[in-house]
């Protein structure tokens, strides 16, 4: 009977394809786009080397705020992967990501080799993208995804009470306790999460996101949404104020709370996931734009981290000179605007990759491999 009902549902979707998108949460799709724009913000900020500026510099506070207001993006991506993916595990999804990853890695290596920027040994190494730390998130995500079959059943059958206790324990140990130990011993990494740059940390975020999705703990309430936004702002401002206070009082740059596993950053990410999961989008043009950008979004990080932020192309250095020469007036919004521009440029480039994959039936081959 269950199998018969599933067949009937699939037949309905084939008759009316619009039904496929009825249960889609467009608010989460918008958050994924915003997260990618904020990841670009972080990389622009890295290029400015704002931490070398003095706190009384007119650009310092704005660049500091840009960083602290954007740091939630990676954690949000990890939470979303669990929120929308806990029900289904498809190995072909990760194979597809690997093909995309390899596609850009190979193109990039050919470009550098022809321009004599790398030797033949490095050229060959680019054909094995896991051998480099560029795009650490993709590396960590792929390896994390390979372990999900071993925990997927637990995620879907654990009692809510036990599940919530396990999550609280993980947050206390890996986040709060991790920050406390790091405060007294800066080189401390007792949990081996590598400051959040690891498969283990992404797995923890996935488990938390799956809890939110499975038990629908987020209620659609306007007052609650305003509270979540307020919590996000307070967390961001606290992180920023802590950095500035340490700089002014102790004369050194302390980015203790500016870590992916920091409680303030987790709170930022959770607050925005709650807000955007309640966002209702009915405008057909907005939906079309979201559906257009959705398959291109993830690859924006594969493109911009190579072409814009690794100083391998001399002309790109001019971009960073341009950023550093911007006047401090409304600098926060100027750099946000630049991140949006870079996002759409990268999405435009990835559209050609998308078309190539579609023309040559890459999904068909990937389905065969999986």
User: What pLDDT tens digit does each residue of the chain (370 aa) get?
Assistant: 434 444 444 444 333 433 344 478 899 999 999 999 999 998 888 777 776 777 777 888 888 899 999 999 999 999 999 998 888 888 888 888 888 888 888 888 787 777 777 777 777 777 676 666 667 888 888 889 888 988 888 898 999 999 999 999 999 999 888 888 877 766 666 777 888 888 999 999 999 999 999 988 777 778 888 999 999 999 999 998 888 887 776 655 567 788 899 999 999 999 999 999 988 888 889 999 999 999 889 889 888 876 655 544 555 556 667 777 788 888 889 899 989 999 999 999 899 888 888 887 777 878 788 7
Residue 8 lies in a domain: no
Q: What's the DSSP call for residue 121?
A: H
Q: How many CA atoms lie within 13 A of 78 on its CB side?
A: 29
> 275 Cβ partners below 8 Å, 6+ apart?
225, 228, 229, 232
Residue 157 lies in a domain: yes
Residue 11 lies in a domain: no
Residue 236 lies in a domain: yes
Residue 283 lies in a domain: yes
- Domain total of the chain: 1
User: Looking at residue 326, what is its pLDDT?
Assistant: 81
> What is the Cα–Cα distance from 56 to 277, expressed in whole angstroms?
39
Residue 1 lies in a domain: no
Q: Domain range holding 202?
A: 23-369
Buried b (16+ CB within 10 A) or exposed e, 53-89: beeeeebbbbbbbbbbbbbbbbbbbbbbbbbbbbeee
User: Looking at residue 311, what is its pLDDT?
Assistant: 47
Residue 117 lies in a domain: yes
Q: Which two tokens stand for residue 202?
A: 């992404």
Q: What's the DSSP call for residue 314?
A: T
Residue 15 lies in a domain: no
């Amino acid at each position: 009977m269950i199998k018969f009902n599933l067949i009937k549902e699939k037949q309905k979707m084939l008759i009316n394809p619009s039904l496929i998108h009825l249960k889609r949460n467009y608010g989460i799709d918008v958050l994924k786009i915003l997260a990618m724009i904020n990841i670009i913000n972080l990389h622009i900020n890295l290029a400015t080397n704002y931490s070398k500026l003095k706190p009384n510099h007119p650009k310092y506070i704005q660049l500091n705020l840009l960083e602290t207001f954007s740091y939630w993006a990676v954690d949000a991506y990890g939470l979303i992967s669990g929120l929308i993916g806990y029900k289904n595990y498809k190995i072909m999804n990760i194979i597809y990501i690997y093909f995309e990853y390899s596609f850009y890695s190979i193109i990039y290596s050919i470009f550098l080799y022809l321009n004599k920027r790398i030797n033949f040994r490095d050229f060959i190494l680019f054909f094995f993208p896991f051998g480099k730390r560029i795009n650490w998130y993709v590396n960590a995500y792929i390896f994390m995804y390979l372990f999900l079959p071993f925990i997927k059943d637990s995620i879907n059958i654990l009692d809510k009470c036990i599940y919530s206790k396990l999550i609280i324990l993980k947050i206390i140990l890996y986040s709060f306790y991790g920050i406390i130990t790091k405060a007294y011993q800066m080189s401390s990494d007792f949990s081996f999460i590598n400051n959040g740059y690891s498969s283990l940390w992404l797995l923890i975020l996935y488990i938390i996101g799956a809890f939110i999705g499975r038990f629908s703990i987020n209620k659609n309430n306007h007052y609650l949404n305003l509270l979540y936004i307020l919590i996000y702002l307070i967390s961001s401002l606290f992180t920023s104020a802590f950095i500035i206070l340490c700089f002014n009082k102790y004369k050194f740059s302390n980015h203790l709370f500016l870590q992916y596993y920091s409680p303030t950053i987790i709170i930022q990410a959770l607050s925005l996931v709650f807000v955007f999961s309640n966002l209702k989008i009915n405008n057909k043009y907005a939906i079309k734009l979201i559906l257009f950008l959705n398959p291109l979004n993830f690859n924006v990080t594969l493109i911009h981290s190579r072409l814009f932020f690794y100083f391998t192309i001399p002309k790109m250095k001019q971009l960073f000179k341009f950023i550093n020469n911007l006047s401090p007036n409304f600098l926060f919004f100027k750099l946000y605007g630049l991140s949006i521009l870079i996002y759409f440029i990268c999405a435009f480039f990835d559209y050609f990759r998308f078309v190539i994959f579609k023309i040559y039936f890459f999904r068909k081959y990937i389905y065969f491999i999986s």
